[in-house]
Structure 1
Amino acid sequence: MMSTTLFKDFTFEAAHRLPHVPEGHKCGRLPRHSFMVRLEITGEVDPHTGWIIDFAELKAAFKPTYDASITIISMIFQVWKTQPAKF
């Protein structure tokens, strides 16, 4: 059987703003942050399908981790938003 490697990238964007900073402070803007997770899978190619794995199965397997990551980042941004800035 033939072995090959498959890459699948998952990307998402997040933004935050600190409301308690002085007027004109750079953290008072709404900066965007880009995140990317790359999954790398190496395996035997199924001779019938020509695939290592169905992308739908891969996405379904990764979804809980992806959702948890977004939740954690959202929580971090919420804490930043509610804490007074210290300079």
Structure 2
Amino acid sequence: MIMADKKVGKVSHYYNHLGVAIIEVKSPFSVGDTLKFVKHGTGEELFQQAISSIQEEHKQLEKAAKGQSVGVKVDKIVHEGVEVYKI
């Protein structure tokens, strides 16, 4: 049985100088999970990445919970509105 990817949130900001995406979390995810970044509206997959760091207010977290706004280190540039899925 194939499981559908679960939407975990969307990018609200990207800090280019840090390589960090701010994600508004709608469903929990953890360090070690693989996330897929998808262009809003087109469904075009931009890239996938295993998450190595989650932070909130400069504090390291192991898990992002629904309702949080967290920073995630990403390998590529992402723009506001990009949808994020756990795969």
- Which bracket does the TM-score occupy, shorter chain normalised? under 0.3
**Bigger radius of gyration among the two:** 1
TM-score, normalised by the number of residues in structure 1: 0.22
More strand by share: 2
Whose helix fraction is larger, Structure 1's or Structure 2's?
1
Higher relative contact order, chain-length normalized (CA < 8 Å, sep 6+): 2
User: TM (normalized to structure 2)?
Assistant: 0.22
